[in-house]
Amino acid sequence: MNPSLKTTALHAEHTELKAKMAAFAGYSMPMSYQSLKEEVLTVRKSAGVFDVSHMGLIRVSGEQALEFLDYLLPNWVSQLPDQKALYSPLCNHQGQVLDDLIVYRLSAQELFICVNAANKENDFQWMQEVLAAKKFQCQMEHFFADYSLLALQGPESFAMINKIDAHLKIDDLDYYSFQKKEFMEKNCYFARTGYTGEDGFEIFIPNSLASNFWKKLVELGARPCGLAARDTLRIEVGFPLYGQEIHQDNTPLEAGLQWTVKWQKEDFIGKQALLEQEPSMKQIRLSLDKGIPRQGYAVYQNNEKIGVVTSGTFSPHLEKGIALAQIRKDINLDENNFSIELRGKFIAAQRHPKAFIQGGHK
Amino acid sequence: MSQKRPENFLYTQEHEWAHIQNDDIAVIGITDFAQESLGEIVFVELPELGRHLNKDEAFGVVESIKSVSDLYAPVSGEVIAINEELTQSPETLNAQPFESWLVKIKMSNKDEKNSLLSADRYQKICEQ
């Protein structure tokens, strides 16, 4: 292994399970264990557990925590009830997307934010700059080195998590909710969120408890799943990924995230820029009967190049190639006649107005 | 799932095998190492019959759920047979890599087989 790579608190478990490891955002992370296909199928029918400890957890606390986050983010954190979670992009003053994240609101004075691994240091620095410039009465701290993040995903997650320990009851947590629980005398945070479209939990626990928790979930029947399965699962349900569908060269309006931009708010970072900008791109979903679309492949309509595949994979459920693509905003979707260029050949593509698979969450 | 590498096959740095039959017919496949690194193979694209390939030319692809891998001609010559069954059941490349041939090439330069690797030398590459 490249010695400059960081490892998570579960590295020994991955090694023991003979995971295929790869470098991801500066970490050595499990891509898959025995069978990627089985991992994907298992999450849709029972439950899988993912180590996503490379992601970052940030705490914002204090009197003006809500004011700060309402100004920082396009989405409306102060409208969120306590113990609920909210997805939002994080933008700069030009309206460009720096990252996408989930805000977990414990109370009006204590909120947590989960950000992408590759951006976590930059996000934290950006947030500190905003905080310093606007002098909101609140503090920030991060748990990048102290906390692990496990994602338990699949229809059996709820039953499984409630069997971990007699002292740990997670039976009052609705979809997109968040709670702090004490476990083994430590603060743990449970969110009923995820990135697979299935019911499940994202569990923030101190590194010292991570291995124990992982082993219990595996004993209870959760299949260890890697980042490759996670990526395939999120493409199947049409969730965007930062760096692919969402990146610094597009705005939330071009990345299909209009619903996260709350114009009614008096001000937020990027609002003015977003108001002045005419989005030039939009997102669609395509599938192929033959061949597998991959990131960067060109998308055509009536023999005219109109965009590019931002994420592509083989779907083990549909048993065919599927793609998320970014195309010109002015394209008439009803005209159809889409195709994707695969190694010089044009393969007819079907548009999916809805996600390829409707996950079973809620 | 992995099988023992046949001693009488020749190998390439690109993790393909070539079995030379009747002096100038090269039967081409991918190795146990290749299928293991790719994971479950879900798609295979093979060239047209009759196509002339130059040594090291890309002639097709094998794809797993998450990755694409080009196939390179280990030798020059004409494609005289393709294994159509693989396009229907690409997973046999995982289960039986040394029995699942991709194409047969009528070699235009028999000396090119000297540039291929023995099973022993290929093993050293896999260990690196």
Helices (H), chain A: 11-16, 36-45, 65-72, 120-134, 157-161, 207-219, 227-236, 271-276
Model confidence pLDDT, tens digit, residues A267-306: 999 999 999 988 999 999 999 989 999 999 999 999 999 9
Q: Does A311 touch chain B (CB under 8 A)?
A: no
Q: In the structure encoding, which two tokens stand for residue A151, read together?
A: 């994602």
Task: Give the pLDDT of residue A345.
Answer: 93
Mean pLDDT of A170-188: 90
Task: Give the pLDDT of residue B81.
Answer: 98
Model confidence pLDDT, tens digit, residues A203-222: 999 999 999 999 999 999 99
Chain A partners within 8 Å of B63 (Cβ): 292, 314
Model confidence pLDDT, tens digit, residues A6-56: 999 999 999 999 999 999 999 999 999 989 999 999 999 999 999 999 999
Q: Does A93 touch chain B (CB under 8 A)?
A: no
Task: Give the pLDDT of residue B3.
Answer: 60
Task: Give the pLDDT of residue B1.
Answer: 41
Interface contact flag, B65 A291, Cβ < 8 Å: no
CATH 1.10.3720.10: does it fit domain B10-109? no
Query: Which DSSP helix (H) or strand (E) runs through B8?
Result: none
Write down the architecture of domain A1-279 according to CATH. Answer: 2-Layer Sandwich (3.30)
Chain A neighbours among B 85-124 (CB < 8 Å)?
A: none
Share of chain A above pLDDT 70, in %: 99
Q: Does A36 touch chain B (CB under 8 A)?
A: yes
Share of chain A above pLDDT 90, in %: 92
CATH topology for A281-351 is Elongation Factor Tu (Ef-tu); domain 3 (2.40.30)
Ranges for all domains in chain A classified under CATH 2.40.30.110 = 281-351
Chain A partners within 8 Å of B45 (Cβ): 291, 343
Residue type, A344: G
Q: In the structure encoding, which two tokens stand for residue A15, read together?
A: 């090694």
Q: Does B65 touch chain A (CB under 8 A)?
A: yes
Mean pLDDT of B48-59: 97
pLDDT(B2) > 60 = no
Task: Give the pLDDT of residue A169.
Answer: 85
Ranges for all domains in chain A classified under CATH 3.30.1360.120 = 1-279
Query: Which DSSP helix (H) or strand (E) runs through B14?
Result: none
CA distance A14 to A31: 10
Residue A360 pLDDT grade (very low, low, confident, very high; cuts 50, 70, 90): confident
Mean pLDDT of A307-330: 97
